[in-house]
A and B are shown apart, each in its own frame.
Chain A
Amino acid sequence: SQQGEEDPQALSIQEGENATMNCSYKTSINNLQWYRQNSGRGLVHLILIRSNEREKHSGRLRVTLDTSKKSSSLLITASRAADTASYFCATGLIQGAQKLVFGQGTRLTINP
């Protein structure tokens, strides 16, 4: 089963509004990462938050991590049409596993 589960699966908002996506996971992690994927393209790394961090900012992005609830959120402020994409959380596992485990993704649509 998937380690990461994003919520919602799809989100449609007006340009200028804020978009919030959530991710839950099951096992202990070393870090959690958010990636963006434009339709038919590769993945672009957005932000990495370590397990001992609670919040991180990068430009219009804000990521929070709650290890007690095993959840993370990605906030995109002042959304733009160019933010339309799928967003995935990926967990970097602690034990032995040099791999990222991805969720199903949230498809974000920004309406002009």
Chain B
Amino acid sequence: NAGVMQNPRHLVRRRGQEARLRCSPMKGHSHVYWYRQLPEEGLKFMVYLQKENIIDESGMPKERFSAEFPKEGPSILRIQQVVRGDSAAYFCASSPIQGLVGTEAFFGQGTRLTVV
């Protein structure tokens, strides 16, 4: 049973380009969470999705950022018109059907985005 798979592991984009980060949850998991980690800091919650639904996007910047978790395929975090401040590690986590109440989240290895 493969863990949470994120790709790419490293992504370099020029200012103004788009970044697409992909996350495949663990088999059998239907909840996906995206977090952002700036250097030397903790993880900041961005968005929580279930299949075809955004449940909580309270941590997402209002502009340029979007996320989806389609019926088929991985979850996608999309950042349009990237700026240098978007440079960070983006982590995806998944959990089983009951969500996070009383259970752990399983994290991917992250995508390190560098905006040049």
Contact = CB atoms under 8 A, between A and B. Distances in A.
A102 B42 contact: yes
A45 B102 contact: no
B45 to A, nearest CB: 5
Given A2-B42, A99-B56, A45 B104 contact: yes
B110 interface: yes
Interface majority SS (helix, strand, loop, mixed), chain B: strand
Given A92-B100, A98-B99, A99-B100, A42 B43 contact: no
B38 to A, nearest CB: 11
Nearest to A98: B99
B22 interface: no
Interface majority SS (helix, strand, loop, mixed), chain A: strand
A77 B71 CA distance: 45
Contacts of A41: 109-110
A100 B45 contact: yes
Contact of A48 (B45, B103, B108): B103
Interface of B: 31, 33, 35, 41-45, 48, 55-56, 91, 93, 95, 99-110, 112
Interface of A: 2, 4, 30-31, 33, 35, 40-45, 48, 50, 88, 90, 92, 97-105
